[in-house]
Amino acid sequence: MGVNKERMLAGEWYIADDEELGADTRRREELCRAFNSATGPEQRGIVLRDLLGSVGDQVRVRPPFQCDYGTYITIGPRTFVNFNAVFLDAAPITIGADVQIGPNVQLLTPTHELDPDRRRAGWERALPITIGDNVWLGGGAIVCPGVTIGANTVVGAGSVVTKDLPPSVLAVGNPARILRPLPPPSEA
């Protein structure tokens, strides 16, 4: 693994336009194209397991789906990802079990320099995103770099999550704010 990729995965500033990262991007482009053009769930499942770092049992991802690398995405069992998901995994994205992800949801780990010269030079860094078990992300929700969403939390449609959310809350808005706690899950 090259120094630039090590820096990326460590959450340090790195140059996004790099030969090694470019090879990973070409791999992802081919696999995303194969996934998005697959004719059925069995074929998509095979490609998804090649594309992503880890895929649990009974995971369903509807095409089209896009990601940065794929290899840094983990999806837990029985999770559902609806149409037009964009998962930018320059840092790890960890999605728990039984998660529901609405259409047009974006999980964005990269962040860019505010300094215009460094930004023009291609510097960026990425911070991991963690989605707990049984979370529901409503359609069009955006989860920003470095955010953790606790188990059983619901994020309303169109919300932009810029800070961590605890377990079992309803959060909505831009930026997402907690509206109220949610009842704990039943033992069933």
Interval 66-92 mean pLDDT: 97
Annotation says 169 is catalytic:
no
Q: Note the pLDDT tens digit of each residue in 19-52.
A: 888 889 999 999 999 999 999 999 999 999 999 9
- Among candidate residues 33, 112, 163, 177, the one labeled active-site is 112
pLDDT of residue 187: 66
The answer to whether residues 68 and 92 touch, using CB atoms and an 8 Å cutoff, is: no
CATH 2.60.40.1180 fits 3-180, yes or no: no
Q: Note the pLDDT tens digit of each residue in 100-141.
A: 999 999 999 999 999 999 999 999 999 999 999 999 999 999
The answer to whether residues 95 and 76 touch, using CB atoms and an 8 Å cutoff, is: yes
Query: pTM for this structure?
Result: 0.95
Q: What is the DSSP string of 148-170?
A: EE-TT-EE-TT-EE-S-B-SSEE
Of the pLDDT bands very low, low, confident and very high (cuts 50, 70, 90), residue 188 is low
The answer to whether residues 109 and 145 touch, using CB atoms and an 8 Å cutoff, is: yes
The pLDDT > 90 percentage for the chain reads 87
Give, in degrees to the nearest 5, the angle at Cα 35 between 31 and 40.
150
Q: Note the pLDDT tens digit of each residue in 139-161.
A: 999 999 999 999 999 999 999 99
Domain ranges of the chain: 3-180
